[in-house]
Amino acid sequence: NSVWVSTDHDEIEKVAKQFGAQVHRRSPEVSQDSSTSLEAIREFLNHHHEVDIVGNIQATSPCLHPSDLIKVADLIQKEGFDSVFSVVRRHQFRWSEVKKGENKMTEPQNLNPAKRYRRQDWPGELYENGSFYFAKRHLIEKGYLQGGKMAYYEMRAEHSVDIDIDIDWPIAEQRVLSFGYFGKEPLKEVKLLVCSIDGCLTNGRIYVTEDQKEMISYDYRDLVGINLLKKRGIQVRLISERDCSKTLSAMQLGCVAKVSATNKLQVLEDWQKDIGLSWKEVAYLGNEESDVECLKKAGMSGVPADACAVAQKAAGYICKSHGGCGAVREFAEHIFLLLEKVNSARKQ
């Protein structure tokens, strides 16, 4: 009936409202590092007596699909369950822990070593994956997210992503690109990549010789990335605010380029219209404030790791590589992952 974001952060509130959500401002008491989701939900209910069922969706599970939530809502509203939570099936053998100094052996928990079977032949076990918890109001007011007439909802393994620690983040990024939800509109293939030269293809540094000739450096990996994009049928075009036509000629990239571009967005719009592409088919890699509007317009946008703060804020993807140090190749790999997602959706 309504979608709310619970936060005590101004920027999160702003973004939530831009996407059509309503915002509940958390009090300082339930905004501590040690605060639980249950505490925040109970506070919310104190301000919203009209709500009788809460679906608590965890932001750390970014592969959740609307179809799952619709089915879970039906379990409570139509089948009479008091609480429903998400699980995933895992095929992992468990052993008892032996703490240091204890004089005992480990014991199998869910297998018989004498009759060990292949994991793929075993139905596995159900584990909570923390993606969502649905519960009726009376349970939450008693301090429970699970209770009463309970049911679990088994999510597909590829949709079960839980970010707990730093190393989970890159795994989640890959999963979202391959299995995430991209809205009702069909995914479009990227057909054009526009890359800012200074600070993306190069590291932004200009070396001047004694005879006043300019030199720049670039990474061979980025040239490989450009060639791979071309092989996939993706056009690559370059753009720069300064006149670097001689440098481009020397690099022999074979790409259409626009130099001395005072209005990058206008150039991007002209190219988009000339080729006849929708914005979702355009990718943009930039790094400066002058790239922000292009980053916002493009269907896929990225910046190198050392891009300016406003560009990072506008981009959908922040590379781990710096400009001139493999960022173009990395962003190309990011595009290839999206293409795999498009092809997978078509097969389905």
The residues that are catalytic are 116
Instruction: Give the dihedral of Cα atoms 107, 113, 114, 120; nearest 10 deg.
Output: 150
| Rg (alpha carbons) of the chain, rounded to whole number | 26
Residue among 226, 239, 199, 204 at smallest CA distance from 328: 226
Rounded Cα gap, residues 70 and 84, in angstroms = 12
Q: Which tokens is 93 given?
A: 């053998």
The residues pairing with 136 across neighbouring beta strands, listed in sequence order, are 53
Q: Are the beta carbons of 282 and 296 closer than 8 angstroms?
A: no
Cα 159 to Cα 172: distance, rounded to the nearest angstrom: 10
For residues 225 and 238, give the distance between their C-alpha atoms in angstroms, rounded to a whole number: 14
> Which DSSP string do the residues of 81-131 spell out, in sequence order?
-SEEEEEEEE----B----TT------BSS--GGG---GGGS--EEEEEEE
| φ/ψ of residue 57, rounded to 5 | -100, 125
Rounded distance, CA 236 to CA 223, Å?
11
Helix extents (H) in 136-208: 137-141, 168-179
d(CA 139, CA 236): 56
Is the four-CA dihedral 179, 184, 190, 195 of positive or negative sign?
Answer: negative
Q: What is the largest CA-CA distance in the chain?
A: 82
d(CA 253, CA 235): 12
Q: Using CA atoms, how far apart are residues 209 and 206, in angstroms rounded to an integer?
A: 10
Q: Are 121 and 105 in contact (CB under 8 A)?
A: no
